[in-house]
Amino acid sequence: MIPVTKPFLPPQEAYSKYLTGIWQRNWLTNMGPLASELEMKLKKHLQVNHLLFVTNGTVALQMAIKALDLKGEIITTPFSFVATTSSIVWEGCTPVFVDIEVNSLNIDSSKIEAAITENTEAILATHVYGNPCDVIEIQKIAKKHNLKVIYDGAHAFGVQINGKSIFEYGDISTCSLHATKLYHSIEGGLIFTKDVALLKKLAYIRNFGFDGPEAFAELGINGKNSEFHAAMGLVNLDYLDQISQKRKELTVRYDENLVTLKARRPIWKIYSENNYAYYPIVFESEELMLKCMEYLKSNEIFTRRYFYPSLANTLPYLEPMDFEITDKVAKCILCLPLYPDLSLEEVDLICRLILRVQNN
């Protein structure tokens, strides 16, 4: 059986070394020494000045919306994981969808201004599969209309734009460290901002709003993470180069094998480099995609329609809307298996089966 993804697990003894210290200190959560160490090491690795280690990527989005005091409309993409939209609604704001670019699959920045109203307060864009949005143009639009910008960078760990971290853009950026991501802390998330005052506010929000043992500075939640999760994050940092190299090798093998497939790959931004978080392909037709998906499944190879269906016409708490490009892409997209334990021979097998369907 070949799953669509499989969490990377380091050698058990490497993780166990951290457990000894946790038992000795008896400090399990509330930003213990391992969580603080992870924040410091991630800042160095990602070359950013500020970040917070939080519960997960969804909480990071919710904290971002709360910290920016958003209450009105937020322009966003219908092609993303549900948390992008549900976080907007959860925080009492209204999502306003804009269609995506046909090549990058990110929100189409040329269509954003037409969606702006007197109630618009922010743009929340997703770096889909880690592929950077048009951050320069989005920032111009935001500045012109006095809007805040949040980036959902759940997939974008390690991505840079012209040598600068993707997380340096926007008022706030977020990232997911969920177990299925290329780098993970089992469960976890990161939140980034260059604004020191905003960082302080987010730190308060993460810890119930506490400002000392008997005082409160902000309305807060429990957005902290545990020492056990931080330990996994620290161990996995040592294997990042190995993980990235293997994912790249697998991606190149897919590309070579599927050159004749009636499908296309999202086009990565020219000023950035792929982090190989996923292997998505957009088939020429939904019919061909479904046939390939079912044939692979019959051979115990599992894929994922990520993201399907469109958020704009699926969620029961929103009025359905149709978007030409999003709807077509969502119907034809398929993510193939990609994880460090996957072998090149297994990639060859997957590709042979897909091409067999197409050529029969």
285-318 pLDDT, tens digit per residue, is 999 999 999 999 999 999 999 999 999 999 999 9
Closest CA to 357 of 311, 259, 304, 288: 288
Quote the CA–CA distance of 233 and 185 in Å, as a whole number: 4
What is the model's pLDDT at position 101?
Answer: 98
Confirm if 56 and 189 have CB atoms less than 8 A apart. Answer: yes
Provide the CA 91 distance to its chain's centre, in angstroms: 19
> What residue type is 187 in one-letter code?
E
The rounded percent of the chain whose pLDDT value lies above 90 is 98
Residue 43 confidence (pLDDT) above 90: yes
Residues 6+ apart with CB under 8 A from 183: 157, 158, 177, 233, 236, 237, 240, 243
- Per-residue pLDDT, averaged over 235-263, amounts to 97
Q: Which of 104, 107, 304, 279 is nearest to 182 (CA)?
A: 279
Mean pLDDT, to the nearest integer, of 190-209?
97
Asked whether the predicted pLDDT for residue 99 surpasses 90, the reply is: yes
Would you give the end-to-end CA distance of the chain in angstroms?
A: 24
- Contact at 8 Å (CB) between 346 and 2? yes
Assess whether pLDDT exceeds 90 at residue 115.
Answer: yes
Nearest Cα to 153, choosing from 140, 145, 165? 165
- So what's the pLDDT on residue 69? 98
Residues in the chain: 360
**Residue whose C-alpha is closest to residue 236's, from 174, 166, 173, 179:** 179
pLDDT of residue 289: 98
pLDDT of residue 305: 97
Domains of the chain: 12-99+106-237 (3.40.640.10), 241-359 (3.90.1150.10)
What integer pLDDT is reported at residue 287 of this predicted model? 97
pLDDT of 229 strictly over 90? yes
Q: Which residues have CB under 8 Å from 315's CB, separation 6+?
A: 82, 85, 86
Task: Give the containing element (helix H, strand E) for 44.
Answer: helix 33-46
**Average pLDDT over every residue of 58-78:** 98
How far apart are the C-alpha atoms of 31 and 230, rounded to whole Å?
A: 9
Task: Name the residue with tokens 């699959």.
Answer: 105
Looking up tokens 């940092």, which residue turns up? 237
**CA gap 251, 127 in Å, rounded:** 19
Find all residues with CB under 8 Å of 7, minimum gap 6, and list them.
Answer: 179, 180, 184, 186, 339
Is the pTM higher than 0.85? The answer reads yes
Q: Give the pLDDT score at 174.
A: 98
CA distances (Å), origin 312, targets 75, 213, 273, 302, 330:
12, 44, 29, 26, 11
Q: Strands 94-97, 73-76: parallel, antiparallel or unpaired by DSSP? A: parallel
Write down the mean pLDDT value for the chain.
Answer: 97
- Helices and strands in the chain: count of H runs, count of E runs: 11, 12
Residue 360 has pLDDT above 90, yes or no: no
Say if CB 288 and CB 354 are below 8 A apart: no
Residue 92: closest CA among 116, 119, 72: 72
Q: What pLDDT score was predicted for residue 148?
A: 98
pLDDT for 10: 97
Rounded to an integer, what is the distance from CA 224 to the centroid of its chain? 19
